Structure 1
Amino acid sequence: MDLESIPGVGEKTARALSELDDPEQALRAGDVAALATAPGISQGRAARIARGAIRHDHDDPGGFLATDRAREIYREVLSLLTERTVTDYAAQRVETFYPSSQRSRIEQVQTFAREAIARDPAPAVLDALTGVEPLATPGDVRVRERCLATTDAERYAAAREAIPELSVEIVEDAQGLAELARGYSTVIALDESFAGVTVEGDVQVRPDALEHPAEIVPERPLAFFARNRDRITAAIAVHRAADLDPPSDCDIDALEDGLSRLEADGTVAGDDELDRLTVAVDDLDAAVGTAETVANDHLREAIREEDVTIEGSDLLSLVERGAGVDSLLSRELADEFAAAVAAAREHLIDALDLDSGEAEVARRTFGDEPTFPVERDEDATARLREDLTATKERRAGTLKRDLAADLADQRAGARDLVRNALELDVELAVARFADEFGCTMPTFVPAADERAAGFDIEAGRSPLLDEPLADIDPVDYDVSGVTLLSGVNSGGKTSLLDLVASVVVLAHMGLPVPAEHARLRRFDDLHYHAKTQGTLDAGAFESTVREFADLAQGGEGSLVLVDELESITEPGASAKIIAGILEALAANGATAVFVSHLADEIREMADFDVTVDGIEAVGLVDGELEVNRSPVKDHLARSTPELIVEKLATEASADGADAAGGTAAESARTNGGAETVSEPQFYDRLLEKFE
């Protein structure tokens, strides 16, 4: 696939995408998470690229949504899906669903949607999804206690490229290795010529090191899992809550066990020996200081309680030799000093929980030569710190290598695990949408039958109405060819157009539609013209007519929905213009529904037998219209004024019957002899005008 052939992908973006392991597969699958790992590609940008790639793959020219109102309907139904996602990923992923005229794309999404609506969006699954995010790339890893060493300049360059996490040093001989070993916990010699060389410190000869970077730098795979530990753990919870089969290359139990042994900073958790060494290194200075206090407190108490007697000759001898209190301690309090030092040593060993080998080094921290106050031997303390640190690092390195070996083979499986959890969120959003709006999968007529077909919706409920589903009256409506839709004000004509548009848009997205049954042709595009607010000026009027002229020239396969086009100009002219538009659309084989209060006038002016359907008001109840929301086929609906006049006539007739008794003569007398029209007669004559 030529990446730059994808709509919206230029040279710079193509370079970024080419850094992915398999950009073509990610593009074909609409894998927003994978695309978003490319340098400089956000999730929103990834969704747009994925949509362009899908169009390219299905040879889809786009342009299904041909008007602003059609695009608004799409954004509104898409937002209903987005609102039912849990993760940011799924919210971006649903952006890859778009209405298409291509059968292959529709069928592809339908396959996905049929599986999706069978999912159970259980609360436990939705709760587990809150912790799932696309996997992140860890930052640069730097390991300072280890280094690589080589005598060869070419190998030096290769090592820096293969294992950038470690310092690479050039040495000339074994002496150079020895010097490095004094500054690093571990030195890895890359040259086979160093085999058999004995050097103090942890020096490993690994000519194959560059071929096994995970063994040399286990921090590399561990950094990935540490950075994504919570995300992977959440994905595991999702799979268990939803009872999903894990990817074939993923052992969930082993992965979970490995993650439980890993700290957020990439260190290994749960090892008592490493914990002991870490505490010993961290607490060394404090423990030595306390040990000094123990020794001095012990010695001070001994001196305070000891009754020391020195003969004059002995005192003179000590002074002549320049001796001080140390000599006095050595001579008179040797046992007490030894006991004080022993107490200090034991305190240090116990406080740091040192093993026998470490204890021998620790004892050197306090010398045997009597002094007061007792002080640590700084060189011995430094040596103890170095030994403990080196032991800790070796232990940590061993544990890291073991854990990295356990987790290294799980990386691809972990990626699939998280991706599947994120995709499940997309499926559950579709399932929740379908359940909450009473949706079903629509049926498309075969290609051979498309020209004679339009749409047939049974028990449809518009998802765009701001009312509970149970409070929305179900609507049945089917149209083939060109139809005028009449009806009373506030009878639901616009809501019906919105329902039709929603069904058609969702069906062409490959998704379930808000109806008990829906059958339709595969349309090429949707032209939905919303009601115009007020009469248009000459320029706007001309532009509107031009739009319909273009549609009339190539409208076959189009669905045209128009809401009260007559408002663009004077009623008489509007009826003529709409009649002409309908004639052109009918000739082209388009499917169209025009809502109009001028249906009777338009029907008279059209040169073909245009169908007129009506949303019929069955009466007025407490001043409110009672409406049959499903249009009656081939029926011009009565207007609201007609219903009101009919109601007044009925009421007046009833009142007149109750008050009967007046005579024509009386009427004539009260009106100068002229015959008057009674109230019931007045209303009856008005009703006749509507016939």
Structure 2
Amino acid sequence: MKLKDIPGVGVKVNERLVAHFGDEDAALEAILKGDVAGLLGMRGMSQRQATALVQRARGAKYGVSPSDFLATDEAVRIYESLMELLARSAHTDYARQKLGTFFPSSCREMIEENRKFAESAISSASALVDTDLALHLSKIKALRKSAGFRVRNRAVAVDSASTFRVLKERGIDKNIDVHLVESLMELRDLAQGYDHVTLLGGTLDSLALSEIEEAESDEDWYLVPERILHRYQENEPLLDAIFKAAGILEMCKVASFEGLEELVRGLSKLKVDDDPEVRRLDRLIAELEGRVEETVAWANTELKRRVESCSVTLAGDDLLFALGRSGDLRDVFKSRMGVTFQDVLKAARDRAFSDLELLGAERAHIEEIISSEVRYPLEEDREAMIRFLRELRKKAEAKRLKSRRDLAKDLAGKWNLVETLNGALLEFDVGYSLGCFALQRVLIMPQFVEDPCIGFSDGRTLFLDDPEPVSYSVGPTGLAEPSERVAILSGVNSGGKTTLIELAAQVVILAQMGFPVPVASSRLSIFQSLYYFGKSRGTLGAGAFEATIRKFSVLAGGDRKLVLADELEAITEPGASAKIIASLLDE
């Protein structure tokens, strides 16, 4: 089968389908699979058009047309109303769209294929009663595949133009800055602008530059692990629903998914907080400047208080020393108040050590930032502060990057499994939704017989909330006697005649879709077409009357048909109507 074999697919539509799906085989596979969601990704494709395209393709596969069986507008209306009810039972948009592609036909092969699908769906739904599967499935949709955020505090440096081109072709530059460098000086300058720089290449000897990391791999998980992790992170709520739904199916032995446990275990690391040391460094970076400022302010206040509360007596030698060329009052202050200054300075540094939870060599940076020079007021060394912050950021980024690389390497090859799992659950919901619809409304699979007939017991129309069960039979169903093939309903107004006729239409439409029907038991034959003539609003005009009579004219053919007519006598005057009906019954 080719795309051109599908009715309504001309040259332009063919070209659009091939362009959208990549090739003709992929396009045909998507259509025959009922991938309405994929078709909707085509520019200018509406849901109605996508549904019709799938229906025409399925019909062509079995040699039928979606419009063959539903021969009148009223028959189409009943079908569309049934599909609206069925759609409400779907838990995902995918299932809702795909269920809409099923249609009734006279093809026994197509009906039998759908019956097997429906029977399996009911069996699965029965095994999943009293579970939360519906809740989790309702949260499942197509996976997001955005380009991801951009890493701005790291860069990748390459020393080869060919490597640079390869990385750009892979799209690495969309997620992280990629620089082509030709010398160690360029590399050193580059390192000043980033928290971390990875060099990919072998012509430059970067060992002399401690701030440069030589790449151990050129794969995505190493150069920019966020590219891999972002796919999982942006789909985190969806993945949670997928795993819970898949877990329920495995627990109930309805389905099994290879690699699920390993995938869940790997993704659980995404929810784990960063390394405690990384959290400490991040907090230190965020609080350092503010804490140092508070510490210096406290030290100046304390130093002022102590100096103002004491008195200093200068000896003559002190005055001569201060007035001489070899000294000044600062030196006198150091000699007389040096101990007080050191006490305050030590207390201030201890406060900073404690508040910032500094470790090891980090304390030396605080001693550099808050200088030991005896002076008032104390001031922080901004250059020392900037150097310390840069060192902290590089240290934190290096630790964070290692953790991300380990996780990204583990998850790099598992995205295909995620896509497969997501697709399998969306596909499962098509049948599960049908099964839930059948269980909720107590539907059963009908029995087909050879002789033209339709009969059912305890039927309940799906268009009323709490209908009274009704049984009826026309033709040799074996459910009731006599077995005439023509029946006329009579009775008082609002006695249920229209509801019974609509119920018969519901039964035959669902049955010839291969779906269960709303009865306790049912026997019917496969009809070539359904003619449903609904109520007319008053006597028809000449043109409408002629159109209606022409519709009836097709009934004279030899094909097996089911004709349902509601208040047919209303098409014209009572006397004329009686003659028309009598002639039709004679035929």
Using the size of structure 2 for normalisation, the TM-score is 0.86
Q: 1:204 to 1:579 in 2, by over 3 A?
A: farther
Task: Confirm whether residue 412 of structure 1 aligns to residue 416 of structure 2.
Answer: yes
Larger deviation, residues 510-519 vs 327-336: 327-336
Alignment counterpart, residue 341 of structure 2, candidates 337, 344, 355: 337
Hey, what does 1:69 align to over in structure 2?
74
Deviations 1:84-127 (A, max 9, x none): 23344433332233323333433333222112212234253333
Equivalences for 1:214-229 in 2 at 5 Å?
214-229=221-236
Hey, what does 1:623 align to over in structure 2?
none
Hey, what does 1:165 align to over in structure 2?
175
Confirm or deny: 8 A CA contact 2:453 2:485 kept in the other structure. no
Hey, what does 1:149 align to over in structure 2?
157
Q: 1:517 to 1:296 in 2, by over 3 A?
A: same
Q: 1:169 to 1:576 in 2, by over 3 A?
A: same
How far is 1:552 from its partner?
3.4
Task: Confirm whether residue 483 of structure 1 aligns to residue 486 of structure 2.
Answer: yes
Secondary structure of the equivalent of 1:146?
Answer: strand
Hey, what does 1:186 align to over in structure 2?
196
Larger deviation, residues 371-380 vs 59-68: 59-68
In structure 2, give the amino acid aligned to 1:183.
G
Hey, what does 1:105 align to over in structure 2?
110
How far is 1:228 from its partner?
0.9
Q: Could you say which structure has the greater relative contact order, defined with CA pairs below 8 angstroms and 6 or more residues apart?
A: 2
Q: 1:324 to 1:544 in 2, by over 3 A?
A: farther
Please give the alpha-carbon distance, in whole angstroms, between the structure 2 residues aligned to 1:436 and 1:107.
Answer: 23
Please give the alpha-carbon distance, in whole angstroms, between the structure 2 residues aligned to 1:485 and 1:25.
Answer: 47
Please give the alpha-carbon distance, in whole angstroms, between the structure 2 residues aligned to 1:5 and 1:146.
Answer: 54
Deviations 1:319-343 (A, max 9, x none): 6669877545433322333333333
Equivalences for 1:60-139 in 2 at 5 Å?
60-63=64-67, 64-118=69-123, 119=125, 120-122=128-130, 124-139=132-147
Hey, what does 2:480 align to over in structure 1?
none
Task: Confirm whether residue 289 of structure 1 aligns to residue 289 of structure 2.
Answer: no
How far is 1:227 from its partner?
1.0
Deviations 1:409-468 (A, max 9, x none): 3322323333344444443432332223221112334xxx4xx4233323322112x242
Confirm or deny: 8 A CA contact 1:28 1:54 kept in the other structure. yes
Secondary structure of the equivalent of 1:194?
Answer: coil
In structure 2, give the amino acid aligned to 1:239.
A
Q: 1:297 to 1:215 in 2, by over 3 A?
A: same
Please give the alpha-carbon distance, in whole angstroms, between the structure 2 residues aligned to 1:134 and 1:44.
Answer: 20
Please give the alpha-carbon distance, in whole angstroms, between the structure 1 residues aligned to 2:31 and 2:23.
Answer: 13
Confirm or deny: 8 A CA contact 2:206 2:214 kept in the other structure. no
Equivalences for 1:266-281 in 2 at 5 Å?
269-281=273-285
In structure 2, give the amino acid aligned to 1:71.
V
How far is 1:272 from its partner?
1.4
Task: Confirm whether residue 454 of structure 1 aligns to residue 444 of structure 2.
Answer: no
In structure 1, give the amino acid aligned to 2:143.
L
How far is 1:32 from its partner?
4.8
Alpha carbon RMSD of aligned pairs, Å?
Answer: 3.3
Q: How many residues align?
A: 567
Alignment counterpart, residue 505 of structure 2, candidates 498, 501, 519: 501
How far is 1:514 from its partner?
0.8
Deviations 1:264-296 (A, max 9, x none): xxxx62431221122122222222222223432
Deviations 1:464-513 (A, max 9, x none): 2x242xx5123132337851323213332211211111111112222211
Larger deviation, residues 237-246 vs 222-231: 237-246
Equivalences for 1:604-643 in 2 at 5 Å?
606=586
Please give the alpha-carbon distance, in whole angstroms, between the structure 1 residues aligned to 2:363 and 2:176.
Answer: 33
Hey, what does 1:350 align to over in structure 2?
354
Q: Which runs of 5+ in 1 are unaligned?
A: 583-605, 609-691
Please give the alpha-carbon distance, in whole angstroms, between the structure 2 residues aligned to 1:303 and 1:188.
Answer: 53
Hey, what does 1:563 align to over in structure 2?
566
Larger deviation, residues 22-31 vs 386-395: 22-31
Confirm or deny: 8 A CA contact 1:20 1:38 kept in the other structure. no
Larger deviation, residues 213-222 vs 12-21: 12-21
In structure 2, give the amino acid aligned to 1:571.
P
Hey, what does 1:519 align to over in structure 2?
523
Please give the alpha-carbon distance, in whole angstroms, between the structure 1 residues aligned to 2:461 and 2:21.
Answer: 40
Confirm or deny: 8 A CA contact 2:441 2:518 kept in the other structure. yes
In structure 1, give the amino acid aligned to 2:462.
P
Please give the alpha-carbon distance, in whole angstroms, between the structure 2 residues aligned to 1:173 and 1:292.
Answer: 43
Hey, what does 1:473 align to over in structure 2?
469
Confirm or deny: 8 A CA contact 1:341 1:368 kept in the other structure. yes
Hey, what does 1:552 align to over in structure 2?
555
Confirm or deny: 8 A CA contact 2:151 2:176 kept in the other structure. yes
Confirm or deny: 8 A CA contact 2:454 2:525 kept in the other structure. yes
Q: 1:298 to 1:47 in 2, by over 3 A?
A: farther
Secondary structure of the equivalent of 1:188?
Answer: strand
How far is 1:398 from its partner?
1.0
Q: Which runs of 5+ in 2 are unaligned?
A: 477-483
How far is 1:73 from its partner?
1.1
Equivalences for 1:556-595 in 2 at 5 Å?
556-582=559-585
Using the size of structure 1 for normalisation, the TM-score is 0.74
Deviations 1:619-661 (A, max 9, x none): xxxxxxxxxxxxxxxxxxxxxxxxxxxxxxxxxxxxxxxxxxx
Hey, what does 2:220 align to over in structure 1?
213
How far is 1:139 from its partner?
4.3
Secondary structure of the equivalent of 2:146?
Answer: coil
Confirm or deny: 8 A CA contact 2:155 2:196 kept in the other structure. yes
Alignment counterpart, residue 238 of structure 2, candidates 224, 231, 243: 231
How far is 1:62 from its partner?
1.5
How far is 1:379 from its partner?
0.9
How far is 1:187 from its partner?
2.7
Please give the alpha-carbon distance, in whole angstroms, between the structure 1 residues aligned to 2:418 and 2:200.
Answer: 32
Deviations 1:372-400 (A, max 9, x none): 22221111111111111111111111111
Confirm or deny: 8 A CA contact 1:181 1:203 kept in the other structure. no
In structure 2, give the amino acid aligned to 1:69.
E
How far is 1:311 from its partner?
3.2
Hey, what does 1:250 align to over in structure 2?
259
Please give the alpha-carbon distance, in whole angstroms, between the structure 2 residues aligned to 1:20 and 1:360.
Answer: 69
How far is 1:201 from its partner?
0.8
Please give the alpha-carbon distance, in whole angstroms, between the structure 2 residues aligned to 1:325 and 1:453.
Answer: 122
Secondary structure of the equivalent of 2:522?
Answer: strand
Secondary structure of the equivalent of 2:179?
Answer: strand
Hey, what does 1:589 align to over in structure 2?
none
Please give the alpha-carbon distance, in whole angstroms, between the structure 2 residues aligned to 1:328 and 1:21.
Answer: 94
Hey, what does 2:369 align to over in structure 1?
365
Please give the alpha-carbon distance, in whole angstroms, between the structure 2 residues aligned to 1:324 and 1:442.
Answer: 111
Deviations 1:555-607 (A, max 9, x none): 6143322212221112222233334444xxxxxxxxxxxxxxxxxxxxxxx2x
Identity of aligned residues (%): 32
Please give the alpha-carbon distance, in whole angstroms, between the structure 1 residues aligned to 2:378 and 2:213.
Answer: 38
